[in-house]
Amino acid sequence: MDEQELIQVVELRISYRYATANPWVVQAIGGFLSAYFMEYPGFRVQRHIEELESGTHLWICEVPQTMKFLRLLKRLKEDIPPCHAHEIAIDPSARPRYLIDCLTEPEG
């Protein structure tokens, strides 16, 4: 048990706009995260939620602190349509939150 790593909880979201533009990505991301677990046993998805109010999909993941979540995002971006993935600005004491969205902003 001495080798047990500290775990942090990280949120990964995809916007309603991105999910609507690419309907298959919800299943693709779920499959990717399942496969990532096979590569990195310390990684795990606690749950997947579709927020009905906003239409966003949210995966709550347990990530070993030694694992770089940005590396996971980079690999994920290679398997899905072009997107913008960034950390959502939050309180530094809160869990990290990342959002995957369309490359362009909606026309006003």
Q: pLDDT tens digit string along 45-63?
A: 999 999 989 889 999 999 9
pLDDT digits over 69-89, tens only? Answer: 999 999 999 999 999 999 997
pLDDT digits over 11-50, tens only? Answer: 999 999 999 999 999 999 999 999 998 888 889 999 999 9
The reported pTM is 0.85
The distance of Cα 80 from the centroid of its chain, to the nearest Å, equals: 12
> Which secondary-structure segment (H or E) carries 99?
strand 97-101
Calpha distance 41→80 (Å, rounded): 23
Residue 13: which of 94, 90, 99 has the closest Cα?
A: 99
The yes or no reply on domain 7-101 and CATH 1.10.287 is no
- Sign, CA dihedral 45-47-51-52, equals positive
